[in-house]
Chains A and B, each alone.
Chain A
């Protein structure tokens, strides 16, 4: 049976951060236990359309359904990266199929990959 809802702090997700590598990753509010993560880059992205194009070249699939928002699906699994250029907001949404104990590690790996592509 599924585990109960707990706060991100209880689950040890909140501390996950990649500071020092130009990326800051913090768990987003909500009931989804380590699935949604806000991603901040040390250096601002100048051209979001170009950054998205590079993500697509790297295998991410664009599935946006809303003006002003990019919704990209990762090449290997149903992880999503949501980007709102207007507010420079990036949110990673790890697939619910990932076991709870592995979500922060997957989010960190995705964040590093995204940062590398977006910065390139």
Chain B
């Protein structure tokens, strides 16, 4: 049975699952930015701890379901399934040698450490390991393989390629169980979703989504366990990881330093800018895009249509175009996003709009549509990113409705202000 067999795309929701676990595609630029945001807010120790705990929790639920679907019974079979899934999802190669009492694991080409070294390694000396996700995944794999209670295995990354080690190494040992949180699985996604929406340009969007999901269904890790596509390194990631680190970081900062909440929210929005600039930009400039949608000319309407289609295909949610007045006003809505389904399940209703990724990505759609000369096939460099997204931007995004606040849809209004 291949790893791909257990992937499911939920077209009405624009969401994805793998063995019933909510998943989403994100690139290394987004992944590194989000982790850095968490560490900057909480400090490297507490940030890494939260990232480990979130990874272990999401991975445990995923791996338990995956092993059942594979019919894996013995510890060796289960660890084999876990390690293969890790690579198939683009996270690198993980060799787990621990047993119920602990032990070790070794990582090569781990997505976080490897891409951090690629992106920053020669300019920045990193002082803390980068692979909390792999640590959490390894711990969960051992828990599942040996039938241990969930979230009882600890894992520490002792060597990391991002710190110039030759390969990543982990030490695993038994620990104390953390409190259980409500599960967020496929059924919770469906329960959290509001009635489906339809918007403008649906036939065009649906055609592109069909092409992209067809392509994505065959995407898997190479010999390194990495997915290299559209000019970036892609992961199929457990969205529970992203959501838990985001909302728990916010909750901790709200308690410890309320004055900093606005800055942190802005950084979570910026993760949407980072994602759209790099991944969406790379997709729009790819031969695959040309085959599916035709060469990207840079037409504003076509850019927004394309971005909405990409968002659905990557599993961000069934985003629709409610209004589109080029260079003036764009309104996007969604009955459910990967953020809202998690938040509603785990936290209930929110006091304010809090789908930060949706907010940031929507603004970035307009930045790409209004300010990028696509015909010139621009290099998506850090310098270009800075030019587009730093300082005063001519667009402003506002979340006017939120399913997390009990409303029937989430809505982002992007207006041109300059």
Contact = CB atoms under 8 A, between A and B. Distances in A.
B7 to A, nearest CB: 15
A66 B215 contact: yes
B119 A4 contact: yes
Contacts of B232: 30-31
Interface in B210-265: 211, 214-215, 218, 222, 224, 228, 230-233
Nearest to A29: B379
Interface in B281-299: 282, 285, 287-288, 290-292, 294-295
Contact of B164 (A1, A68, A69, A86): A1
A2 B118 contact: yes
Given A2-B118, A4-B121, A29 B380 contact: yes
Q: Which of B121, B214, B379, B380 has the most CB of A within 10 A?
A: B379
A84 B379 contact: no
Contact of B288 (A7, A28, A69): A69
A91 B287 CA distance: 7
Contacts of B166: 1
A74 interface: no
Nearest to A36: B231
Contact of A29 (B119, B292, B377): B377
Contact of A2 (B117, B231, B291): B117
A32 B214 contact: no
B291 A69 contact: yes
Given A29-B380, A68-B292, A69-B287, A1 B231 contact: no
B178 interface: no
Contact of B214 (A31, A65, A86): A65
Contacts of A57: none
A29 B384 CA distance: 12
A84 B287 contact: yes
Contacts of A87: 290, 294-295
Contact of B117 (A1, A28, A31, A66): A1
A30 B288 contact: no
Chain A interface bracket (under 10, 10 to 19, 20 to 34, 35 or more):
20 to 34
A4 B120 CA distance: 6
Given A30-B230, A32-B228, A66-B211, A1 B287 contact: no
Contacts of A3: 118, 121-122
A18 interface: no
B212 to A, nearest CB: 9
B229 to A, nearest CB: 9
Interface in A73-120: 82-84, 86-87, 89, 91, 96
Interface of B: 28, 114, 117-123, 161, 164, 166, 211, 214-215, 218, 222, 224, 228, 230-233, 282, 285, 287-288, 290-292, 294-295, 377-381
Given A1-B121, A29-B231, A96-B228, 10 more contacts: A1-B117, A2-B117, A5-B118, A7-B379, A7-B381, A30-B232, A32-B228, A66-B214, A69-B288, A84-B291
15 contacts: A2-B118, A4-B117, A29-B282, A31-B118, A31-B231, A32-B231, A65-B215, A66-B214, A66-B288, A66-B291, A66-B292, A84-B287, A87-B290, A87-B294, A87-B295
